[in-house]
Structure 1
Amino acid sequence: MTDTNNSPLEGAVLFYSNPEPLDPALHGALGVNPTDKPYAFVAQTNIVPLTVTEFAAAALSYPIIFTGENRQPVVVMGLRQGENLYVSDAGDFRADAYIPAYVRRYPFVFADDKQNQRLILCIDRGAEIVAEGGQNPLFVDGQPSDYTNMAMDFCNNFEQERLRTESFVQLLKDLDLLDIREAAFTPRNPDGTPGEPQKLAEYYAVSEDRLKALPAEKLAELRDNGALGQIYAHLVSLLGWDRLIALAFQRQAEAPASVN
């Protein structure tokens, strides 16, 4: 996480080092350059926030878990902090993996201007793709360009999905469905016998037992409002821990041998 004490953003925001509110006077000559590796920056983290409407798509690629006091849903992309098994050393994102909207909106983000009760579109001046005379200008004749307006629309949609996600998580809390769970891995000894289990992570997940114990009318309500489908997408995604372990072994096998 980054230090944003001098930023208009409330709190630290993953990936953003220097977000500034867009201003034609300050950013009139700025643009965003296209790159063939636009998501290389994701290699620095093993978890990325997710909105609830992305659960089904993301479940095909990653475990979806809930973390922290706010029970923020995130996808797990690596087994260790600072490691991402879906981004190569060259900065290539796995072609078959879902890319969360949180990542796709970069280098744009909304700041919460609580004093004026509004959201302000910001851009990360620390992003390498943001430069003077960039190929996609932020402003044309002092007005937001089509590129900037598209970014605004995307961030608006993301904000709506973020609020929807907060409501979904609150519903899980109200029904007391979240429980602490562990991800573990049991290695094999050289003789083929199981080794000592190794704890990979501790996180919050929906308890299937608590879900089944809900009254029939509450289950029907969850089905009708779409929450039940998202819950099952989350539960199915937890099978993805095995995929992460396999990817970790694959990366280890592909790593060059260390030189003594």
Structure 2
Amino acid sequence: MPPLLYEDPVLLRGDLHKHAALLACESFQFAASVVAVPLNASEFALAARCYPIVFADTETTVPLAVLGLGGDSNLFVDGEGRWSDGAYVPAYVRRYPFLPVTTPNSDALMLAIDRPRLIERDGMVPADANGLFDGDTASPLAARALDYCERYHRDHLRTVEFVSGLRERDLLETRRADIHLPDQSQFRIDGFRMIDRAKLRALPDNCLGDWFRKGWLDLAALAETSQANWQTLLDRQAARAAANTPPARQRSTRKRADA
């Protein structure tokens, strides 16, 4: 199964994609149905202003930025594919359509791209297209994408170390959220974990000192602070539901409320 957001990643190769180009797209429509995306540790400070930060309740635990309350609806992407003004766009989303690919027994990374965003031509790439190769070498666009993916991967490895520390100390507890909306509808979100505050504060002094120097206590605090953003999601969900409710139904609802 391909990674989240990707349909068919393909490794970029000069011999196969010499005349390939990137299909330009400024829309975030590709992320409109995603309710949570992976988050790296360096993003916690910015993401905590907008989204609840949780941890996937899976074998490979990763931090997640929660973007919606279910129903395959990202509450930060509108019908035109625009991300909400002022809201932080997670690096995982900004990385798309590129993807770092690791090679066995090597630290080297290669660059892949989601095939639907790849224009493959038999002849020369037009001058106004976003070419991925200049002859046999990567184009400036591909070089920048590889640099971004390399930095993302390094940050991912630091994040894995942080999560491993949480798991080793058994600090991640399975949680669920029961959501009650103003229109009386309700549903449950589960399948995620949060840091157990009591266990965190009970860590031995030598461990707390080590975690402080690594910045892990700051990350835990940001994850805890971000939980206030569940209300942000509720407000966005209610506003979207109201915008999608036919006017006649809204009037009927107000009439019953006034009665």
Normalising by the smaller structure, the TM-score range is 0.7 to 0.9
Q: For 2:239, give the aligned amino acid.
A: Q
Q: 2:69 matched to 1:69? A: no
Shift of 1:126: 1.5
Q: Deviations for 1:203-259, whole angstroms, at most 9, x for unmatched residues?
A: 210011111111233222211110111111111111111110110000001115299
| Structure with the higher fraction of residues in helix conformation | 2
1:23-102 aligned at under 5 Å gives the runs 23-37=13-27, 39-67=28-56, 68-102=58-92
Q: For 2:129, give the aligned amino acid.
A: Q
Q: Deviations for 1:180-217, whole angstroms, at most 9, x for unmatched residues?
A: 2222234569xxxxx79753335210011111111233
Shift of 1:84: 0.6
Other-structure match for 1:201: 190
Return 45-54 or 176-185, whichever deviates more.
176-185
Within 2, Cα distance between the matches of 1:62 and 1:80?
A: 14
Other-structure match for 1:248: 237
Q: 2:138 matched to 1:148? A: no
Return 132-141 or 72-81, whichever deviates more.
132-141
Q: 1:137 to 1:91 in 2, by over 3 A?
A: same
Return 25-34 or 113-122, whichever deviates more.
113-122
Other-structure match for 1:114: 104
SS at match of 1:182: strand
Other-structure match for 2:114: 124
Other-structure match for 2:254: none
> Unaligned 5+ residue runs, structure 1?
4-11, 190-194
SS at match of 2:203: coil
Within 2, Cα distance between the matches of 1:196 and 1:259?
A: 19
Identity between Structure 1 and Structure 2 (%): 31
Within 2, Cα distance between the matches of 1:130 and 1:160?
A: 29
Shift of 1:70: 2.0
> Unaligned 5+ residue runs, structure 2?
250-259
Give the alignment's TM-score, normalised by structure 1. Answer: 0.85
Question: Contact between 1:64 and 1:74, CA under 8 Å: does it hold in 2?
Answer: yes
Superposed CA RMSD: 2.5
Within 1, Cα distance between the matches of 2:225 and 2:166?
A: 17
SS at match of 1:57: helix
